[in-house]
């Protein structure tokens, strides 16, 4: 297993600067954002310009890094919503225009990943009305959205299959797939198609009270990518705000905060153990969303914390009369 960096944390720097910085700290991979207008990667150029993909790969590889995934969370979100002003910052337009744009951009992201020889795209699938998890006042609302998921994302995944790229949805609040049950249901809805799976981010799961080891053991063969992000259940605040408080992330009274690995409630040794047990041997991509400390604090503390925990080789077995 290798430790990577989600470069979206450093969009104020050129991609090559980030790669040089990350490699110098001991990171081994980068997950690069693919949404329109980000300064790290123009997927239109990757697809259209003959040498662009080669240049990007060579630059990243020159620092001893690999590209673990292309990430397109914002544009994946608007395939299922929400729509209106909630997502105007991603793409302004009508519901139909947003769906069209999101669909085209996710397909283009898969094409770019294929061109770059990157095996997976991470992102969100969206959810028009997450409040429908509660079956009142419209008890069929969630099943309606499941139908839209199959219709819209089925077409997108057809193109992923064509390009030989996997899509790793990141279970998260405000997504149609957000826990073990909805993840299992999504596999069923998609007919078990092999290009559909998950970007396992343990912080998003403990945010909703989900056992992260359970997620790994249940869905291990569908975990295509992993985020190294922690979350803190702030026990002295939970009794008044609960686990899904609204408001600013820096609000003192929140019952939950995103943190860097080792500073929250995620049991990292157990997570790494279970990932190894289900055969995951790819990248853990560090994502900085800790509002209590700087990026510099976060990245240096994270690599120092996670590096000694990495399992470098699998168990080779012991063959003697005392243990077999």
- Residue 318, in any domain of the structure: no
Question: Is 324 domain-assigned?
Answer: no
Would you say residue 136 lies in a domain? yes
- Domain membership of residue 323 (yes or no) is no
Predicted confidence band of residue 211 (pLDDT cuts 50, 70, 90): very high
Residue 6 belongs to a domain: yes
CA angle 289/269/220 to nearest 5° reads 85
- How many Cα neighbours within 13 Å face the side chain of 145? 25
Could you tell me the sign of the dihedral formed by the alpha carbons of 307, 310, 316, 317, in that order? positive
Lowest-confidence segment of 13-17, 165-169, 239-243, 280-284 by average pLDDT: 239-243
- The answer to whether 120 and 168 have CB atoms below 8 angstroms apart is yes
Which helix (H) or strand (E) segment is 180 a member of?
A: helix 180-189
| Calpha distance 155→152 (Å, rounded) | 6
Cα separation, 199 vs 183, whole angstroms: 11
Mean pLDDT (the chain, rounded): 96
* Residue 113, domain member (yes or no): yes
d(CA 230, CA 233): 10
Domain enclosing residue 251, as ranges:
2-309
Give tens-digit pLDDT for 301-322.
999 999 999 998 888 888 887 7
For residue range 129-174, what is the model confidence (pLDDT) as tens digits?
Answer: 999 999 999 999 999 999 999 999 999 999 999 999 999 999 999 9
pLDDT at 324 > cutoff 70: no
Q: What is the mean pLDDT of residues 215-225?
A: 98
The tokens describing 70, both together, are 């292309």
Residue 320 maps to a domain: no
> Has residue 235 been placed in a domain?
yes
User: pLDDT tens digits, residue range 29-52?
Assistant: 999 999 999 999 999 999 998 799
Please say whether the beta carbons of 27 and 70 come within 8 A.
Answer: no
- For the chain, the domain total comes to 1
Note the pLDDT of residue 98: 98
Question: Is it the case that residue 217 has pLDDT exceeding 70?
Answer: yes
Nearest residue to 120 (alpha-carbon basis) of 85, 160, 167, 83: 167
Please report, for the domain that includes residue 150, its CATH number: 3.20.20.150
Burial class (CB in 10 A: 0-12, 13-18, 19+), 322: exposed
Cis peptide before 178 (omega within 30 of 0): no
């Amino acid at each position: 297993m290798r430790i990577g960096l989600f470069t979206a944390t450093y969009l104020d720097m050129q991609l090559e600067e980030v790669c040089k910085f990350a490699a110098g700290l001991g990171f081994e991979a980068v997950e690069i954002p693919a949404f329109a207008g980000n300064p790290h990667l123009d997927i239109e150029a990757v697809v259209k310009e003959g040498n662009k993909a080669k240049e990007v790969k060579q630059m990243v590889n020159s620092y001893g890094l690999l590209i673990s995934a292309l990430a397109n969370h914002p544009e994946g979100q608007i395939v299922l919503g929400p729509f209106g002003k909630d997502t105007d910052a991603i793409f302004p337009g009508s519901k139909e225009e947003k769906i069209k744009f999101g669909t085209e951009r996710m397909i283009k992201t898969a094409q770019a990943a294929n061109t770059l020889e990157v095996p997976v795209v991470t992102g969100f699938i969206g959810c028009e009305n997450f409040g429908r998890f509660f079956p009142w006042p419209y008890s069929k609302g969630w099943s309606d959205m499941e139908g839209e998921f199959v219709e819209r994302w089925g077409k997108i995944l057809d193109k992923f299959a064509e390009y030989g790229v996997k899509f790793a949805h990141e279970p998260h609040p405000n997504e149609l797939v957000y826990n073990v049950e909805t993840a299992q249901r999504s596999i069923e809805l998609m007919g078990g198609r092999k290009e559909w799976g998950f970007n396992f981010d343990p912080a998003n799961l403990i945010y909703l009270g989900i056992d992260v080891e359970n997620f790994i053991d249940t869905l291990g063969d569908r975990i295509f990518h992993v985020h190294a992000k922690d979350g803190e259940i702030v026990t002295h605040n939970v009794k008044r705000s609960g686990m899904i408080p609204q408001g600013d992330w820096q609000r003192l009274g929140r019952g939950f905060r995103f943190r860097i690995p080792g500073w929250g409630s995620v049991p990292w040794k157990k997570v790494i153990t279970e990932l190894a047990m289900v055969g995951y041997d790819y990248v853990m991509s560090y994502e900085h969303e800790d509002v209590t400390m700087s990026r510099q604090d976060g990245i240096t503390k994270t690599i120092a914390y996670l590096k000694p925990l990495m399992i470098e080789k699998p168990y080779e077995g012991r063959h003697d009369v005392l243990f077999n």
